[in-house]
Amino acid sequence: MSKGYDVYGTFRRVSTPNFWRLQSLGIFDDVHLIPADLVDLSSLIEAIRMSKPNEVYNLAAQSFVGASFTTPIGTGLITGMGVVKVLEAVRQTDKNIRLYQASTSELFGNVSTKVQNEDTPFYPQSPYSAAKLYGHWMVEIYRDAYDMFTCCGILFNHESPLRGMEFVTRKISNAAAKIKLGLQSKLTLGNVMSKRDWGYAPEYVESMWLMLQQESPEDYVIATNEIHSVKEFVHTAFEYLDLSDDHLKIDKSLFRPLDVPYLQGDYSKAEAKMNWRPKIRFKDLVKIMVDSDVKNWTRWLNGERFPWDAPNYPTELSILTETKKI
């Protein structure tokens, strides 16, 4: 929008619509919303006909790695086959549309290389990453077979205060805020030794846009080239709020059947070809997320009501209800 785009967004019909992110950013009324579903090709074609886009950014997926182990078939249909339906909708409607596909660092999986770039072999370790890999290769096939401008951003973990609470970074920042405010005593996690390359989501979205502005379509790794463990994320968040690491509790039942121990990206190609580089680093990212959750819980305790995701979670709702009584 800041670049002068007229923005259309698709959304999946549910019994209780949820647009809290758009509302919290103050842009709900500025986005043209069109109902569509990745399992329904006709709805995607209709969305493209209605919006007549120059660029399509496919960010839709069943995107939670842990959930993909319990819903592997649904994950394959949405995260894998859904990409093909988006590609077909573009191909059948207007092949001049430029298309961005959200790939993931999870494609690399259990690799032996210390740092991953565009030439690193893929070795997926979850139904989610396997489905993403199918979509990734289909984007490349459509690019070559139909001469379409399609590209994939192989984005390493990108976080912000808008991250869902089921994801570990937001789970940490939210719990740290509640512990600081006396609303919670422990943060319970599974494998805290996994290491990831964490960046700031708004900067990564800028890279998506840059990919579609290039003369030719190519795939790019987007990362920070820094690596930190989940335990480091917890320590940094707790230390920032003067909390002890004793508030952390490990529950082995939360471990995944397969887990990726180490992912670190090399963004050299993006820097060389698009002049893109990350600015927000690890400690600043943690502070941004923790500050946001402390602010939101404080606002709620002071009686404010505003667009926020906490009321959508039963565990959070019980706390919100109790604080309202107080």
Active site positions, annotated: 104, 106, 128
Phi, psi (deg, nearest 5) at residue 189: -135, 170
Do the strands 55-58 and 228-229 form a parallel or antiparallel pair, or are they unpaired?
unpaired
DSSP states of 17-79: ---HHHHHTT-GGGSEEEE--TT-HHHHHHHHHHH--SEEEE--S---HHHHHH-HHHHIIII
The helix/strand/coil state of 299 is helix
CA gyration radius, the chain? 20
- Cα angle 121, 127, 130; round to 5: 30
Beta partners for residue 221, in sequence order: 154
Encoded tokens for 141: 């096939």
Tokens of 37: 């579903």
What are the backbone dihedrals phi and psi of residue 199, each rounded to the nearest 5 degrees, phi first? -125, 180
Token output for 172: 């940490």
